[in-house]
Each structure stands twice: as C-alpha cells, then as structure tokens.
A and B are shown apart, each in its own frame.
Chain A
C-alpha cells in the first residue's frame, strides 16, 4: 500500500518560534490534508489542499501541495502553547469518491512557554 514519510518525528521549540514539518510519498496523491490530534481525541482538520502547487493559509498555519503531488509541508508561525499536539499529514488518491485517507506517522510538537 501507499506509505507516507512524515518528518520530523518530534519537535521541541520555544514559544514564538516558527515550525515546519513535511510529508513525502513514493506515489502521488490528489488531495493532501493536515490534521491535529490532541491526547485522547480525534484528528481535527487544519488545512485541505486539492491542487498541485496550491498554497493555503489558515491563520498562523500555511500548507503547500507539492507540484509533483508526492509531498506537502505545513508551517506554523509564531507558535503558542496551545499548538502542542500531534500533527498528521494524510493523502487521498480520490480515484473514486469516499476513498481512504493514508496517514503519516505524525509529528509530536512540544512548545515551551
């Protein structure tokens, strides 16, 4: 099956710093999504990307869909303590509607006040 490599696995940063994480795949996806998961909760959608090359922002978050359709990155600017959590990328092939999401391994973000 398709595999996503997400890096880094974990990050420890100071409040106010910018953060960058990325996902790469050996095969293409038609949709990239970024989710955040807090402990004991479900993934919450942050940003969805539907076209190769697309750059989308949501507040302090910016994500891009790579031109090759095999990668995506997420940037968080001016981090705050509530940014703590696990960030997952997910790719979707969308050959048919309702197709599965393939998730990356996650990036554990810790923000020190």
Chain B
C-alpha cells in the first residue's frame, strides 16, 4: 500500500542552525502538507502546497520556514534559523483531489530536537 515517507526520523540540531526535513508523498497525490506536534499537544497545521506554490499557511509558518518541491518526488520543509521552541514532531501529509476525495495521509514524522 502506498505511503508517505519522511527522513530523517530524528534530527538533533543546535539553536540557530538551518535544518531541512524531507518527505516523499504518495506518488499520485497532488497536495502536500506539513504539520507539527509539540510533545503532548495536538497536531497543528503549518502549510499546504499545490502546483509548486503555497496554497495556505498558518500563523506558525513565518519567514523562518520555507517549503520546496525540488524534483518530482521530494517535498521539503526548511527552517532557516532554528529556535528551542521549534522542537517538535513534524509530519508531512499528502492528498489527491479526484472529485470529492481529498483525504490526507500522514507520514511517520521527523522528531526535531533543538538544543
């Protein structure tokens, strides 16, 4: 069964460093998303991406964040200068729009630890 994959599974970085989190969405999907989950809290939307541009972003997704689809398969989230409060699980999701079906499927996540 097709699934969303994410790498790395765990990333440790120093405050102020740049990190890039990688995702491979399900191959026939058209919409891509990033969410984050701070430990013990609910999942929060960051950004959605379609047709090589951002279609929606939340107030969390400030200028420190950027997304890119550098080739036909990968979807990346970059955090330019990490802060302690960026420590969280980051989930990639993808969906397709074939008429009414637009269900989002999630990857296993990348645990980001900022020291």
Q: Taking beta carbons and an 8 Å cutoff, which residues of A are in contact with B?
A: 1, 31, 33, 35, 40-45, 48, 50, 88, 90, 92, 94, 96-106
Contacts and interface: CB of A to CB of B under 8 A. Distances in A.
A45 B33 CA distance: 15
Contacts, number: 65
A41, A44, A104, A105 pick with most chain B CB within 10 angstroms: A41
A97 B50 contact: yes
A30 B2 CA distance: 26
Given A50-B100, A96-B55, A101 B45 contact: yes
B48 interface: yes
**Which size class do B's interface residues fall under?**
20 to 34
B42 A100 contact: no
A97 B56 contact: no
Contacts of A101: 35, 43, 45, 104
A103 B42 contact: yes
A48 B35 CA distance: 19
B75 interface: no
21 contacts: A35-B106, A42-B4, A42-B108, A43-B91, A44-B106, A45-B103, A45-B105, A45-B106, A88-B42, A94-B102, A97-B50, A98-B30, A98-B31, A98-B48, A98-B95, A100-B56, A101-B43, A102-B45, A104-B42, A105-B41, A105-B42
Nearest to B31: A98
B81 interface: no
B25 interface: no
